[in-house]
Copies of this chain bind each other. A is one copy, B any other.
Amino acid sequence: MKLYTYFRSSAAYRVRIALNLKGLEYESLPRHLTRGGGDHRRSDYLALNPQGLIPLLIDGEATIAQSLAIIEYLEETHPEPPLLPRAAAERARVRSLALLIACDIHPLNNLRVLDYLRTPLGHDTAAVSDWYRHWVACGLRALEAEAARASRDQRHLVGSDVTLADICLVPQMYNARRFDCDLEPYPRLKQISAHLEGLPAFAMAAPEAQPDAV
């Protein structure tokens, strides 16, 4: 498998964690998201992925964009160890928390959105940071409440195994720290994330551990 990745892309970070958890080897194909307007906006990359976003997984004939679609694909093609529980209601709970992050926090704070706030909207760094922290706080507040209901051991968001929800949590917490978001209101999320970050599959996937890290 080949993965188009960028060390700081939190969507790519999710996929790297999933690949590591499944014990799957892959070739990293870094695409720099800011240098020269972004490698992901060049025509050769757009021909592969019209969405023009990172990550992209190539597995033989299959070319898959969108981190959660990639992880569901890995789950179906390499079921062990599972990243979703067995029972439908539990699977739904895991997907719901993953989507809370992947739909309702991350896209609002993506690089292209922050760029649009600066130009054409003309906002300064302070306003852009407020925007960033506002959506992180909205999302993490809900996620903290969900963790209170779903976590069984304070080491995983749902139940007592690593799931897709945990895979989304860690990169989101990394981003929140990077943008100096106040994480004191989320003691459960901090505790869960700290545990997960210590696991080898998560540590090997961290931005600083990537070949393209700056």
Contacts and interface: CB of A to CB of B under 8 A. Distances in A.
Interface of A: 50-53, 59, 61-62, 64-66, 68-70, 72-73, 76-77, 88-89, 91-93, 95-96, 98-100, 102-104, 106-108, 112-113, 116, 120-121, 123, 127, 130-131, 134, 138, 141-142, 145-146, 149
A89 B73 contact: yes
A100 B146 contact: no
Contacts of A102: 99, 103
Contact of A69 (B51, B52, B95, B131): B95
A73 B91 contact: yes
B145 A50 contact: yes
Contacts of A69: 92-93, 95-96, 98-99
Contacts of A121: 121, 123, 127, 131
Contact of A108 (B53, B62, B107, B127): B107
Q: How many copies does the complex hold?
A: 2
A93 B64 contact: yes
A88 B62 CA distance: 9
A93 to B, nearest CB: 7
Given A69-B96, A100-B51, A108-B113, A62 B76 contact: no
A134 B116 CA distance: 10
Contact of A72 (B91, B127, B145): B91
Interchain residue pairs A-B with the least CB separation, the first 8: A50-B145, A69-B95, A62-B89, A73-B92, A66-B99, A69-B96, A66-B96, A51-B142
